[in-house]
């Protein structure tokens, strides 16, 4: 069978967790292929809120396996805390979770390095989540990483200590001291995690596909945070786009079928970096308030602005999106006018395509449509909704160039409309 992919088309937090949870029953496995605990995927279940950082968003479903793939970076403390939280809520994590042996570990000193590097950058800081993501990926590509599967080998402690000591030297040379207070808990967490299931991800995934199983690859972050195609250097340190799935899980490109691309009905970004349609006024503040736009991982207020079709077309091109999912359209319920950007103004004229570099002098051309000023009732037919809601969805489809498959109107599992 095939692998479908679900990923964010903006700067993250598009509502991936909610949509994966909704789609999960159509699949046998949900698999994270990149990123780490910088992600925060929120799911509401019977009024309870869960935020998943490392565990895939299919974990609440009976009989569905959840894979943490090779391309993911794991902090055992965060992973164990997530597991405990889920187990306390009655979720049978033991039988549902599969951890790739080749996933790389985030050491406590990676977090210290992340902090030191951000401090050194001063005003030019990336605004990272301070979860050690960039240093962990640097060690992975630098061929120094400790893989989680190595916890079963005799020389694990030596490998860990040698990488830790190297990090301490680096931090000292940057003029900072290293806080090692988390080391004990980190090592203890790994001991406890040994009781869970570890897999050769590439073998496991391909065996399952051969036996007819369906897999949904769950992206973290979003296309505009991709290490190669995002707003570099204000990006994360992994390939968030669909191309990352093959490397992150060990599957061949022909195995990939549908690509679900998720966008909010407006746009947000957390951390530093360009964001052409950002609103620094009362409307931006209203979007933040109505949308509850505060980071699921760090609690930071998210920057808010109108939807950006230039960036979305670019993201769809990179990912080959076949199914568009629009989330948080209900957040626009009380806006008289809704803005959108179809092209940028640059020093060499207007462009509808993404420039090589998004610099501060590139400005969005914002146009407006009428809002609907009414609540959207779930349970009714999409066709019976207010015309301005339907017109707005049609505007997105037309300008992004992909048909809408799901339109989400609330945080709950069933607060959405399934279209085509
Ligand atoms: P993710 O990282 O892409 O999974 O998204 P986050 O969980 O970080 O942020 C999305 C937020 O929007 C969460 O608080 C969700 O509960 C919420 N959410 C998702 N879909 C909708 C929707 O259609 N309407 C509203 N109002 N909230 C939504
Ligand atoms: P989900 O999966 C939103 C942002 C950070 C920062 C940049 C680099 O919930 O959509 P990092 O810690 O990765 O080195 O930070 O990327 N960032 C996210 N923004 N949602 C996320 O994940 C993010 N993960 C990282 O804010 O700007
Ligand atoms: Mg998030």
pLDDT at 59: 98
8 lines ligand 2 (CB under 6 A): yes
Is 137 found in the same domain as 186? yes
Please report the pLDDT score of residue 246 as a whole number.
98
Q: Is the pLDDT of residue 286 over 90?
A: yes
Q: What would the mean pLDDT of 7-12 be, rounded to a whole number?
A: 98
314 alpha carbon to ligand 1 midpoint, in Å? 22
Last residue of one domain, picked from the residues 146, 163, 191: 191
- 350 Cβ neighbours under 8 A, 6+ residues apart: 343, 344, 365
Written as six digits, the tokens of 79 are 């992973």
pLDDT over threshold 80, residue 348: yes
Contact 88/80 with Cβ under 8 angstroms? no
Indicate the pLDDT class of residue 412, thresholds 50, 70 and 90: very high
HSE-up (13 A, CA, CB side) for residue 96: 21
Show the domain range for 69: 3-102+198-260
What CATH number did the domain enclosing 280 receive? 3.90.170.10
Q: What is the pLDDT of residue 89?
A: 96
> Tell me, what CATH number does 70's domain have?
3.40.440.10
Distance between Cα 14 and ligand 1 center (Å): 6
Same domain, 93 and 7: yes
Compare 116 and 1 and report the one with higher pLDDT. Answer: 116
Same domain, 276 and 400: yes
The contacts of residue 198 (CB under 8 Å, 6+ apart) are 98, 99, 100, 101, 148, 149, 152
Nearest protein Cα to ligand 2, atom 21: 221
- The pLDDT score that the predictor gives to residue 359 is 86
pLDDT given for residue 379 in this prediction: 83
Q: How confident is the model at residue 298 (pLDDT cuts 50, 70, 90)?
A: confident
pLDDT tier at 271, thresholds 50, 70, 90: very high
Is the pLDDT at 1 greater than 90? The verdict is no
Q: Is 12 in the pocket of ligand 2 (CB under 6 A)?
A: yes
Residue 211 has pLDDT above 80, yes or no: yes
Q: What is the pLDDT of residue 380?
A: 82
pTM, two decimal places: 0.97
Q: How many CA atoms lie within 13 A of 388 on its CB side?
A: 18
Verify that 234 and 322 share a domain, yes or no. no
Give residue 257's pLDDT band: very low, low, confident or very high (50, 70, 90).
very high
pLDDT of residue 386: 95
Of the three residues 236, 260, 284, the one that is the final residue of a domain is 260
Show which of 161, 191, 221 is a domain's final residue. Answer: 191
Residue 410 and residue 288 share a domain: yes
Counting ligand 1 atoms within 8 A of each CB, the residue from 6, 18, 44 with the most, and so the one to mutate, is 18
Give the residues across from 326 on adjacent strands. Answer: 263, 407
Does one domain contain both 238 and 335? no
What does the CA dihedral 26, 29, 32, 33 come to, rounded to 10 degrees?
-110
Whether residue 371 has pLDDT greater than 80: yes
Query: What is the tally of structural domains in the chain?
Result: 3
Across residues 185-201, what is the average pLDDT?
Answer: 98
pLDDT over 80 (residue 420): no
Query: And the tokens for 95?
Result: 């039988």
Q: Using pLDDT thresholds of 50, 70 and 90, give the confidence band for residue 340.
A: very high
Residue 313 scores a pLDDT above 80: yes
| Measured CA angle at 68 (ends 56, 35), to 5 deg | 80
């Amino acid at each position: 069978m095939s692998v479908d992919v679900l990923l964010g088309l903006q700067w993250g937090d598009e509502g991936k967790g909610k949509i994966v949870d909704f789609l999960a029953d159509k699949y046998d496995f949900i698999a994270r292929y990149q990123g780490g605990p910088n992600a925060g995927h929120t799911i509401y279940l019977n009024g309870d809120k869960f935020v998943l950082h490392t565990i895939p968003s299919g974990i609440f479903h009976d009989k569905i396996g959840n894979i943490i793939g090779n391309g993911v970076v794991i902090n055992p403390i965060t992973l164990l805390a997530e597991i405990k939280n889920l187990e306390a809520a009655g979720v049978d994590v033991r039988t549902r979770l599969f951890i790739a042996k080749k996933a790389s570990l985030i050491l406590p000193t990676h977090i210290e390095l992340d902090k030191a590097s951000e401090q050194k950058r001063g005003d030019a800081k990336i605004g990272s989540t301070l979860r050690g993501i960039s240093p962990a990926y640097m060690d992975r590509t630098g061929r120094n990483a400790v893989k989680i599967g190595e916890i079963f080998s005799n020389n694990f402690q030596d490998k860990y200590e040698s990488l830790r000591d190297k990090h301490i030297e680096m931090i000292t040379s940057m003029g900072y001291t290293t806080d090692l207070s988390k080391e004990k808990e980190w090592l203890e967490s790994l001991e406890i995690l040994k009781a869970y299931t570890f897999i050769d991800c590439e073998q496991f995934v391909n065996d399952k596909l051969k036996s007819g199983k369906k897999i949904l690859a769950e992206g973290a972050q979003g296309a505009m945070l991709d290490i190669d195609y995002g707003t570099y250097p204000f990006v994360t340190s992994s390939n968030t786009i669909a191309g990352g799935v093959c490397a992150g899980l060990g599957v061949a490109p022909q195995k990939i079928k549908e690509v679900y691309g998720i966008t909010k009905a407006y746009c947000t970004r957390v951390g530093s970096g360009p964001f052409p349609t950002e609103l620094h006024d009362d409307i931006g503040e209203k979007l933040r308030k109505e949308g509850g736009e505060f980071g699921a991982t760090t609690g930071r207020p998210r920057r808010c602005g109108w939807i950006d079709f230039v960036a979305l077309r670019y993201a769809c091109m990179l990912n080959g999106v076949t199914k568009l999912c629009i989330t948080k359209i209900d957040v626009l319920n009380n806006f008289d006018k809704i803005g959108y950007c179809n092209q940028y103004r640059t020093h060499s004229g207007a462009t509808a395509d993404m420039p090589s570099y998004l610099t501060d002098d590139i400005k969005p051309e914002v146009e407006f449509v009428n809002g609907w000023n009414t609540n959207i009732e779930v349970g009714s037919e999409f066709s019976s909704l207010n015309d301005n809601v339907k017109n707005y969805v049609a505007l997105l489809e037309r300008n992004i160039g992909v048909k809408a498959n799901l339109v989400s109107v609330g945080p709950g599992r069933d607060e959405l409309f399934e279209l085509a």
